[in-house]
């Protein structure tokens, strides 16, 4: 009893007060944490610190209303951020069993989830229906608001943004309601404003539901799918990018009725549907009407018919009808797609099995009036039926197929069935003009296809033809093409594989052909859980080339499985000939070039060209998987290459082999080694090797290793460079010897390190047509890193053509320093930067040597390049030279009576990739002459030529020195001749004066103005009338007092001075016409100057008695034919001259004077 009393006293006096004190402290702490601002801040900071977050700007308390400026949680599995959050709860309402939340809002809510592979494992699904637990209180959320919501999962954001959400929620014991006052969903294509009112009248299955949802969508840009494109708008409408939708629903998860109404963006939509939300296909019956303001309408109906009886039939059979009228798809298609208007009636029906898988489906489509594609009428029908005879997809059949569709003149016709033994499906596609199907396409094509049998055993035949609009046979892409194919095969369900063979494959196009020499076996396997496997067996493929050559490709094997691909084969003999190369060039030439050739040209029928033939063979054996392994090689088997020239010379090939070997290197790398070996009896030898590392990135494909350098080496000892004529053509002669020993290595896209040297001896570059002769040259160059250092490229002067102009020839013969002439180039070039400097020096170097022109130059030219910019500066002086003007008369041109009315070819000037600038000074020196066309004069002066922005200009003055000109049948002295260049090189200023310095009056002509608009005047010293000027110029005397020759002088002067600057007689094919004094037929011989027959009409006082007019024409081989006619007598002499040697000629005369003369002329210098 005493012990019990002691325990009661201990409990009352000690334990109860302690417990009361602890309870008081706990309640006080809770009240402090929830009811005061410091307590609430402490509570939030404690929670956030446990997840690595933070809290800022806490105002108020949980009990009195709370505002948080910043709250975040950072966990390895999730991240949460709240900004400007607000919580306001009416806690007193809990006394009425009601949780009243006045406001729950946030300006920004960010949620990020980070899932791992363990988290990704699916949880087992609970098949039991969800049941709402019984809540002790009702929940009323008066205001729920979010300014902006952002969500990420594993770093990927939602494709849409959610903002401006404001809603209210009520959840009671037997009902619930959600009212969405506003909400915005944003996408790059559109923005949608939402509002809704949804009510649940029961909180258990089948969840009776009623409510509505309204959406107002606006296109974000003019290119949005909601916007009516401006090109198809018939008038400006305010709702061109706005669409209003309203959805109303009533029912439960067992059955539900839904209505949809929408308008805007040029659309009007009305739809009603009866739904079975829990069925495999939830739509039981639906009606839809869509009207488009810009044209067109769609009316559709979907109806499911039940199989079986009872209150809940099994909805498995369905049918649908769709009626489309005038639906213009332009608003949804890109602007470059042709116009498409759909008008059609479609009927679709089908059946599903118990698991919702399709059993069969049928389609019947009939095009209606107004259907268009690419402005072409679309008509016809398409009907088909497909069914599945078993559970596997390989049992699909096509019991019936019928097609008769046309787009303009193009059509698709088909009929038949496929899927059973004996079935046959025939398709016929005909396109008379591709422009019917797509704008700007040209050509025509047809395709016929036949497929027989079923998937288990079938046969396929294809035949197609194509022809372009403008057929150019032999030109790739412009010639007709055809192809034929026959194949057969079978599918095995047990092995999940297909076996077959290609028995025929033929194709022809532009001189190329392809054909199988024997059947090609094919296989395709699809083993469960393994990648697709394919195999192409052994066959021989014949490839026909434009030179009528048949190349056999022996294919051994090609196979693949997943990433692994293998191929092996060989080409035993490929004849590479010059004829084949020419025909390949012609086959792949541009269409405009082919068209130009088709219009006309010159075909040299008797051209003989030695055929170059090289026999090559090739082999390959490659495997592509994680690594690239195997070999590829090309080797010469026979034949040789001929170097262009007269005569052609064989290259003397002994060996030519190129080989590449690949092997595995590392986990995902492949080492590729390349070797080259060349041996020639005439050219010499060359060998090289290289290596690179290919890597296989995780994304697939192959790439050069960014860390392992590419290495290469080349050694060459070329004794004869004449083989370069294969590249330059026979118009440029190249020769000499070259030795090279070069090593290089570098990373892809980085700088290269190149070492080695190149040397050359007896180098030769000759271009006969332009008179360029560079012979006996030498070359010394070396590589240093990424630079090519040109130590010296030297050519000595070599005078090979004797100058025909006597003063130039005489100076060259007397000037001893001419033998020491040279041209030399030095400099360096950065190979990676494509930049460098070259200096070219000339000293007494004959840069041009031809019988009609000659130029010996001295000076220096600097070439500074940083591609694409090239700058050329320098100064050159002509030590000696001359230019023959006679060659200008041989340049062909269109006659004056030909007028081009319209050019059929529009030639577009090709822009150069180089930005070339030039500033070059040319000084003609004291010994430059122009000779020919009756002119013989020295030319002095300098000209500075500038090229800027593609415009070539010149500044300077050229003057004649001690010259003469033969014009109007007379030899005139050039008193003055000045050409002043002040810009365009084509139009210098002229100031030329030529006089006949005989008689009392010196008469002549003056040419002033510009080259394009010259003005020719008659002049005389002293000044006399124009008639007297003509008389003194042409006859060497004044006109007769009787005026008998005045009319002749005026007409002759007008024809001689007028025109376009060309002597009138050249229009008749004559080389020289003029008036001379002396005896007709005289040539300084002993033959008589005057005969009795020629003196009948002569008088002693007639001033014309000693003058005659002559005309002559010079032909090839030194033959000259001419005629002379006395002005006042009847003497006429025809002459034929033949030049035997320098200064020696044979002259035959007939007419008034007859005879044969051997004449030697010696002309002494002034």
Higher per-residue pLDDT: 1085 or 942: 942
Summarize the confidence of residues 1096-1101 as an average pLDDT.
42
Task: Report yes or no: 775 and 798 within 8 Å, Cβ to Cβ.
Answer: yes
What pLDDT band is residue 595 in, cutting at 50, 70 and 90?
very low
What's the pLDDT score for residue 603? 47
The answer as to whether 1131 is a domain residue is yes
User: In whole angstroms, what is the distance from residue 967 CA to residue 914 CA?
Assistant: 45
Dihedral angle sign, alpha carbons of residues 812, 816, 817, 822: positive
Could you give the number of structural domains in the chain?
A: 3
Buried b (16+ CB within 10 A) or exposed e, 988-1005: bebbbbbbbeeeebbbbb
What pLDDT band is residue 591 in, cutting at 50, 70 and 90?
very low
**Does residue 132 register a pLDDT over 60?**
yes
What pLDDT band is residue 92 in, cutting at 50, 70 and 90?
confident
Non-local (6+) Cβ contacts of 466 within 8 A are 443, 444, 445, 480, 481, 482
Summarize the confidence of residues 709-733 as an average pLDDT.
84
Kindly state the tokens that stand for 412: 């698709």
The answer as to whether 1083 is a domain residue is yes
Read off the pTM.
Answer: 0.62
User: In whole angstroms, what is the distance from residue 489 CA to residue 500 CA?
Assistant: 4
The answer as to whether 129 is a domain residue is no
- Classify 334 as helix, strand or coil: coil
Same domain assignment for residues 15 and 103:
no
User: In whole angstroms, what is the distance from residue 435 CA to residue 1037 CA?
Assistant: 79
pLDDT digits (tens, 9 = 90+) for 572-587: 999 888 788 888 888 8
pLDDT digits (tens, 9 = 90+) for 196-236: 999 998 888 888 999 999 999 888 777 777 676 655 555 55
What's the pLDDT score for residue 676? 94
User: In whole angstroms, what is the distance from residue 382 CA to residue 364 CA?
Assistant: 6
**Does residue 158 register a pLDDT over 50?**
yes
Least confident of 133-147, 670-684, 799-813, 891-905: 891-905
**Does residue 83 register a pLDDT over 70?**
yes
Least confident of 126-135, 668-677, 712-721: 126-135
What's the pLDDT score for residue 601? 45
What pLDDT band is residue 906 in, cutting at 50, 70 and 90?
very low
Summarize the confidence of residues 382-391 as an average pLDDT.
84
CA distances from 845 to 800, 815, 879 (A): 12, 13, 9
Least confident of 82-86, 107-111, 407-411, 1020-1024: 1020-1024
Winning range, highest mean pLDDT, from 104-113, 467-476, 1053-1062: 104-113
Same domain assignment for residues 41 and 165:
yes
CB atoms within 10 A of CB 721: 19
pLDDT digits (tens, 9 = 90+) for 859-890: 999 999 888 888 999 999 988 887 776 655 55
Query: Smallest Cα–Cα separation from 858: which of 839, 883, 878?
Result: 878
What's the pLDDT score for residue 860? 94
Same domain assignment for residues 8 and 108:
no
Same domain assignment for residues 138 and 18:
no
Query: Smallest Cα–Cα separation from 243: which of 222, 261, 223?
Result: 261
Q: In terms of residues, how long is the chain?
A: 1166
Higher per-residue pLDDT: 524 or 189: 524
Cα end-to-end distance, the chain, whole Å: 170
User: In whole angstroms, what is the distance from residue 1093 CA to residue 1106 CA?
Assistant: 15
Task: Report yes or no: 1137 and 1125 within 8 Å, Cβ to Cβ.
Answer: no
Same domain assignment for residues 97 and 159:
yes
Summarize the confidence of residues 823-830 as an average pLDDT.
93
Same domain assignment for residues 79 and 105:
yes
The answer as to whether 265 is a domain residue is no
Sheet holding 1155-1160, edge to edge: 1072-1077, 1107-1114, 1119-1126, 1132-1141, 1144-1151, 1155-1160
- Classify 1083 as helix, strand or coil: coil
What pLDDT band is residue 850 in, cutting at 50, 70 and 90?
confident
Task: List the beta strands (DSSP E) in 526-612.
Answer: 533-536, 539-544, 550-561, 564-577
CA distances from 917 to 10, 132, 838, 849, 865 (A): 114, 87, 15, 27, 10
Helices vs. strands in the chain: H and E counts, helices first: 9, 64
Least confident of 165-169, 890-894, 920-924: 890-894
Task: Report yes or no: 425 and 414 within 8 Å, Cβ to Cβ.
Answer: yes
What pLDDT band is residue 455 in, cutting at 50, 70 and 90?
confident
pLDDT digits (tens, 9 = 90+) for 264-282: 877 888 999 998 888 777 8
The answer as to whether 1133 is a domain residue is yes
Task: List the beta strands (DSSP E) in 705-834.
Answer: 710-718, 733-746, 752-767, 772-785, 787-796, 822-830
Same domain assignment for residues 52 and 163:
yes
- Classify 1068 as helix, strand or coil: helix
Non-local (6+) Cβ contacts of 798 within 8 A are 773, 775, 776, 846
**Does residue 1066 register a pLDDT over 70?**
no
Least confident of 498-507, 519-528, 814-823, 839-848: 814-823
**Does residue 1103 register a pLDDT over 50?**
no
The answer as to whether 149 is a domain residue is yes
What pLDDT band is residue 607 in, cutting at 50, 70 and 90?
very low
CA distances from 891 to 885, 887, 894, 1071, 1117 (A): 11, 7, 10, 14, 19
State the chain's mean pLDDT as an integer: 81
- Classify 424 as helix, strand or coil: strand
User: In whole angstroms, what is the distance from residue 970 CA to residue 963 CA?
Assistant: 14
The DSSP 8-state label assigned to residue 770 in this structure reads G
**Does residue 395 register a pLDDT over 60?**
yes
Same domain assignment for residues 18 and 87:
no
Summarize the confidence of residues 496-522 as an average pLDDT.
93
User: In whole angstroms, what is the distance from residue 1010 CA to residue 988 CA?
Assistant: 6
Domain end, chosen from 148, 173, 198, is at 173
Domain end, chosen from 173, 203, 221, is at 173
pLDDT digits (tens, 9 = 90+) for 740-770: 999 999 998 888 899 999 999 999 888 877 7
Rounded to 5, what percent of the chain is helix, strand, coil?
15, 55, 30
**Does residue 712 register a pLDDT over 90?**
yes
The answer as to whether 997 is a domain residue is no
Q: What percent of the chain has pLDDT over 90?
A: 32
What's the pLDDT score for residue 1100? 41
Higher per-residue pLDDT: 31 or 285: 285
Same domain assignment for residues 11 and 91:
no
What's the pLDDT score for residue 463? 97
| Mode of pairing for the β-strands spanning 649-650 and 653-664 | unpaired
Task: Report yes or no: 1094 and 1129 within 8 Å, Cβ to Cβ.
Answer: yes
What's the pLDDT score for residue 583? 84
CA distances from 991 to 233, 909, 925, 959, 1016 (A): 70, 35, 21, 10, 10
Same domain assignment for residues 89 and 109:
yes
Question: In terms of C-beta density within 10 A (0-12 exposed, 13-18 middle, 19 or more buried), how is residue 657 classed?
Answer: middle
Distance of CA 673 to the CA centre of its chain: 32
What's the pLDDT score for residue 469? 87
User: Could you tell me which residues are beta bridge partners of residue 1107?
Assistant: 1077
> What Rg do the C-alpha atoms of the chain give, in angstroms?
50
Summarize the confidence of residues 774-794 as an average pLDDT.
92
What pLDDT band is residue 964 in, cutting at 50, 70 and 90?
confident
Summarize the confidence of residues 837-859 as an average pLDDT.
87
Same domain assignment for residues 45 and 162:
yes
The answer as to whether 254 is a domain residue is no
Same domain assignment for residues 56 and 85:
yes
| Mode of pairing for the β-strands spanning 710-718 and 396-407 | unpaired
CB atoms within 10 A of CB 323: 16
User: In whole angstroms, what is the distance from residue 46 CA to residue 311 CA?
Assistant: 60
- Residues of the domain holding 157: 36-115+134-173
Non-local (6+) Cβ contacts of 43 within 8 A are 33, 34, 62
Domain end, chosen from 173, 202, 221, is at 173
User: In whole angstroms, what is the distance from residue 868 CA to residue 324 CA?
Assistant: 60
**Does residue 628 register a pLDDT over 80?**
yes
Higher per-residue pLDDT: 995 or 480: 480
Kindly state the tokens that stand for 1010: 């510009």
User: In whole angstroms, what is the distance from residue 1019 CA to residue 996 CA?
Assistant: 10
């Amino acid at each position: 009893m005493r012990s019990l009393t002691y325990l009661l006293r201990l409990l009352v006096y000690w334990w109860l007060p302690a417990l009361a004190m602890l309870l008081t402290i706990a309640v006080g702490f809770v009240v402090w944490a929830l009811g005061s601002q410091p307590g609430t801040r402490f509570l939030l900071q404690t929670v956030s610190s446990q997840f690595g977050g933070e809290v800022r700007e806490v105002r108020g308390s949980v009990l009195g209303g709370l505002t948080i400026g910043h709250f975040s949680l950072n966990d390895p599995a999730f991240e949460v951020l709240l900004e400007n959050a607000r919580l306001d709860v009416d806690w007193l309402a809990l006394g009425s069993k009601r949780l009243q939340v006045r406001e729950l809002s946030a300006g920004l809510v960010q949620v990020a989830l980070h899932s791992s592979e363990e988290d990704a494992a699916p949880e087992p699904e609970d098949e039991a229906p969800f049941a709402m637990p019984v809540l002790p209180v009702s929940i009323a959320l008066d205001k729920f608001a979010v300014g902006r919501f952002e969500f990420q999962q594993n770093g990927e954001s939602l494709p849409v943004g959610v903002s401006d959400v404001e809603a209210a929620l009520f959840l009671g014991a037997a009902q619930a309601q959600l009212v969405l006052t506003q909400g915005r969903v944003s996408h790059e294509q559109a923005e949608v404003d939402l509002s809704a009112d949804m009510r649940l009248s029961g909180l258990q299955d089948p969840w009776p539901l009623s409510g509505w949802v309204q959406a107002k969508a606006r296109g974000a840009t003019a290119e949005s799918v909601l916007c009516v494109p401006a090109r198809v708008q018939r008038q400006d409408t305010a709702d061109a990018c706005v669409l209003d939708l309203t959805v109303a629903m009533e029912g439960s998860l067992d059955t539900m009725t839904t209505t949809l109404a929408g308008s805007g963006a040029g659309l009007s939509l009305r739809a009603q549907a009866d739904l079975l939300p829990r069925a495999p296909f939830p739509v039981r019956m639906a009606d839809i009407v869509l009207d488009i303001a810009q044209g067109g309408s769609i009316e559709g109906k979907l109806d499911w018919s039940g199989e079986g009886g009872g209150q809940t039939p099994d909805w498995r059979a369905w049918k649908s009808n769709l009626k489309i009228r005038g639906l213009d798809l332009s608003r949804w298609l890109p602007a470059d797609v042709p116009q498409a208007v759909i008008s059609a009636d479609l009927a679709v029906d089908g059946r599903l099995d118990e698991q919702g898988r399709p059993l069969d489906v049928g389609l019947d489509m009939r095009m209606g009036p107004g259907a268009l594609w690419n402005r072409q009428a679309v008509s016809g029908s398409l009907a088909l039926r497909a069914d599945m005879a078993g559970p596997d997809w390989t049992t699909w059949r096509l019991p019936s197929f019928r097609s008769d569709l046309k787009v303009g003149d193009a059509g698709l016709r088909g009929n038949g069935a496929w899927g059973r033994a004996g079935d046959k499906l025939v398709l016929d596609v005909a396109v008379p003009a591709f422009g019917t199907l797509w704008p700007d396409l040209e050509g025509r094509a047809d395709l016929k296809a036949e497929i027989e049998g079923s998937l288990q055993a079938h046969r396929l035949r294809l035949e197609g033809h194509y022809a372009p609009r403008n057929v150019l046979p032999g030109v790739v892409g412009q010639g007709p093409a055809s192809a034929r194919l026959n194949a057969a095969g079978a599918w095995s369900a047990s092995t999940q594989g297909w076996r077959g063979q290609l028995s025929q494959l033929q194709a022809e196009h532009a001189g190329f052909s392809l054909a199988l020499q024997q059947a090609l076996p094919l296989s395709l396997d699809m083993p469960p859980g393994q990648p697709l496997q394919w195999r192409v067996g052994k066959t021989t493929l014949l490839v026909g080339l434009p030179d009528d050559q048949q190349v056999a490709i022996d294919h051994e094997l090609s196979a693949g499985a997943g990433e692994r691909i293998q191929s092996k084969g060989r080409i035993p003999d490929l004849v590479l000939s010059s004829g084949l190369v020419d025909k390949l060039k012609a086959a792949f030439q541009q269409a405009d070039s082919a068209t130009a050739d088709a219009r006309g040209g010159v075909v040299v029928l008797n051209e003989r060209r030695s055929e170059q033939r090289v026999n090559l063979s090739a082999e390959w054996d490659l495997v592509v998987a994680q690594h690239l392994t195997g070999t590829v090689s090309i080797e010469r088997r026979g034949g040789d290459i001929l170097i262009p020239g007269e005569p052609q010379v064989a290259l003397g090939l002994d060996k030519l082999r190129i080989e590449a070997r690949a092997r595995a290197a590392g986990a995902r790398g492949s080492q590729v080694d390349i070797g080259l070996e060349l041996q020639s009896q005439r050219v010499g030898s060359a060998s090289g090797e290289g290596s690179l590392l290919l890597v296989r990135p995780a994304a697939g494909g192959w790439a050069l290793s960014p860390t392992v350098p590419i290495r290469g080496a080349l050694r060459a000892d070329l004794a004869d460079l004449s083989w370069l004529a294969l590249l330059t053509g026979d118009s440029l002669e190249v020769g000499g010897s070259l030795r090279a020993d070069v090593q290089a290595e570098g990373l892809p896209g980085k700088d290269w390190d190149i070492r080695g040297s190149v040397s050359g001896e007896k180098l030769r570059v000759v271009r006969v047509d332009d008179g360029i002769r560079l012979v006996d040259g030498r070359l010394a160059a070396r590589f240093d890193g990424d630079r090519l250092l040109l130590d010296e490229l030297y050519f000595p002067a070599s005078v090979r053509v004797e100058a025909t102009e006597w003063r130039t020839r005489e100076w060259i013969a007397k000037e001893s320093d001419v033998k020491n002439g040279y041209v030399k180039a030095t400099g360096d070039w950065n190979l990676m930067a494509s930049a460098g400097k070259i200096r070219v020096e000339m000293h007494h170097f004959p840069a041009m040597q031809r019988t009609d022109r000659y130029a010996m130059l001295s000076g220096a030219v600097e070439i500074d390049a940083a591609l694409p910019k090239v700058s050329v500066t320098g100064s050159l002086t002509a030590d000696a030279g001359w230019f023959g003007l006679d060659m200008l008369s041989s340049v062909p041109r269109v006659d004056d009576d030909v007028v081009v009315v319209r050019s059929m070819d529009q030639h577009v000037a090709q822009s150069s990739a180089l930005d070339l600038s030039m500033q070059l000074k040319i000084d003609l020196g004291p010994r430059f002459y122009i000779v020919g066309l009756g002119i013989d004069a020295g030319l002095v002066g300098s000209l500075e030529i500038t090229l800027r922005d593609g415009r070539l200009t010149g500044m300077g003055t050229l003057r004649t020195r001690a010259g003469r000109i033969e014009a109007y049948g007379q030899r005139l002295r050039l008193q003055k001749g000045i050409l002043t260049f002040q810009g365009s090189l084509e139009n210098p200023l002229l100031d030329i004066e030529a006089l006949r310095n005989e008689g009392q009056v010196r008469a002549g002509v003056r040419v002033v103005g510009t080259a394009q608009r010259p003005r020719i005047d008659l002049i005389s010293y002293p000044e006399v009338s124009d008639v007297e000027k003509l008389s003194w110029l042409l006859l060497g005397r004044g006109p007769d007092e009787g005026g008998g020759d005045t009319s002749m002088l005026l007409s002759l002067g007008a024809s001689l001075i007028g025109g376009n600057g060309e002597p009138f007689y050249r229009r008749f094919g004559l080389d020289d016409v003029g008036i001379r004094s002396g005896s007709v037929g005289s040539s300084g011989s002993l033959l008589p100057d005057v005969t009795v027959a020629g003196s009948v009409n002569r008088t002693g006082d007639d001033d014309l008695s000693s003058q005659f007019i002559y005309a002559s024409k010079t032909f090839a081989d030194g033959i000259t034919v001419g005629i002379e006619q006395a002005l006042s007598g009847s003497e006429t002499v025809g002459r034929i001259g033949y030049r035997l040697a320098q200064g020696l000629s044979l002259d035959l005369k007939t007419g008034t004077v007859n005879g044969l003369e051997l004449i030697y002329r010696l002309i002494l210098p002034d």
